[in-house]
Amino acid sequence: MKKLFTILVLVALALSFSVVSTPVGAEYYYAELVANITAPANGVDIMGGSEFTVTANVTNNGTGYAQDVKATIAISGNATLKTGQVATKTVAAQLPAVNGTGQVSWILVCTGTGTVGINVTPSGIEPNTLNPITPDKIHPATVSVNQKKILEVTILTPADLTAFNVTAEFPVTARVENVSSLNATDVTLTISIDRYATVKAGAVTRTVGALDAGTTSTNYTWTVQCTADGFSRITVSPAGKVGGIAIPAAALIADTVTVKQGVFDQGP
């Protein structure tokens, strides 16, 4: 009996030690990733056809480190990744807990105009299970940018399909407007004629200079002379810079008129 009592006491002590030595409410360590797009700013205007950089921070707000942290960009609208760029990039092999932060960037190319949506989604490995961090602890970031036309030409005279005698001279008058919220510099206007007429007076390319956002240039005039019977297409094209960068063709709007010259058979 004494031996049985001793055994029971030892078992009780062992159980008591086991209960006391187990921490109550032991902390579970986890990773939680938050993306923040630092550039471009949400809603900013960008030249259509130009390149721009998207930069994002990924922060670990969890209580445990995150492994193999990456960020993936998704794009909607008239823009694409520049050749050589990849959508998913490595942020860090390991991000420390509680505000550990890494940064990543991409170069995008505008392919037209209109609104472009940009989404950056982080991902990583959870420290306890070594499984991917669950969606409830992943926080993407989204911004949108506006790809803009910059310079738009209007030919004031002649009107489209105006008729002239062969060898006649006539003025071509045009102006250019900065239709964006971006200031332009080194603005020029160039006239071109496809056939049956030539520029007789006035430099083919005229210098406008600086043209601030939302402003319109003065009028510029060239003297054109008809040289043969037929239709001539006359085009005035703008050019310029924004922030020292040449404005891409996608952000420029030329204007064209057609004039009729002399007497000719237009066909059936």
Please tell me the chain's helix, strand, coil percentages from 3-state DSSP, rounded to the nearest 5.
10, 55, 35
Say whether both 61 and 127 belong to one domain: yes
In 61-196, the DSSP E strands lie at: 66-76, 79-81, 88-95, 100-110, 114-125, 138-139, 141-148, 151-157, 163-164, 169-178, 184-193
Are the C-beta atoms of residues 171 and 164 closer than 8 Å to each other? no
Please state, in angstroms and as integers, the Cα–Cα distance from residue 94 to each residue in 83, 120, 125, 164, following that order: 28, 19, 9, 75
Q: Which residue segment(s) compose the domain that 63 sits in?
A: 33-148
Does 58 fall in a domain? yes
Say whether both 139 and 164 belong to one domain: no
CATH of the domain at 230: 2.60.40.10
Mean confidence (pLDDT) of the chain:
90
Say whether both 115 and 177 belong to one domain: no
pLDDT in tens, 144-163: 999 999 999 999 999 999 99
Distance CA 136, CA 128 (A): 16
CB atoms within 10 A of CB 12: 10
Mean pLDDT within 119-125: 98
Nearest 10 degrees: CA dihedral of 211, 216, 218, 219? 120
- Stretch among 56-65, 74-83, 127-136, 144-153 having the lowest mean pLDDT: 127-136
Are the C-beta atoms of residues 153 and 186 closer than 8 Å to each other? no
Distance CA 141, CA 34 (A): 8
Distance CA 69, CA 89 (A): 9
Say whether both 104 and 37 belong to one domain: yes
Is pLDDT at 8 greater than 70 in this prediction? no
Say whether both 40 and 140 belong to one domain: yes
Q: Whole-structure pTM over 0.85, yes or no?
A: no
pLDDT in tens, 77-93: 999 999 999 999 999 99
Structure tokens at 259: 């004039």
pLDDT in tens, 208-239: 999 999 999 999 999 999 999 999 999 999 99
Q: What is the total count of domains within the chain?
A: 2
Residue 9 confidence class, pLDDT cut points 50, 70, 90:
very low
Say whether both 122 and 37 belong to one domain: yes
Beta bridge partners of 206: 189
Say whether both 108 and 120 belong to one domain: yes
Question: Nearest to residue 104, comparing CAs of 144, 55, 137, 141?
Answer: 55
Distance CA 147, CA 154 (A): 21
Are the C-beta atoms of residues 188 and 240 closer than 8 Å to each other? yes
Residue 118 confidence class, pLDDT cut points 50, 70, 90:
very high
> What percent of the chain clears pLDDT 90, i.e. is strictly above it?
82
Mean pLDDT within 172-190: 97
Mean pLDDT within 102-112: 95
Question: Nearest to residue 60, comparing CAs of 92, 101, 104?
Answer: 101
Say whether both 60 and 131 belong to one domain: yes
For 25: left if phi > 0, alpha if psi spans -120 to 50, otherwise beta; the answer is: left
Beta bridge partners of 45: 146
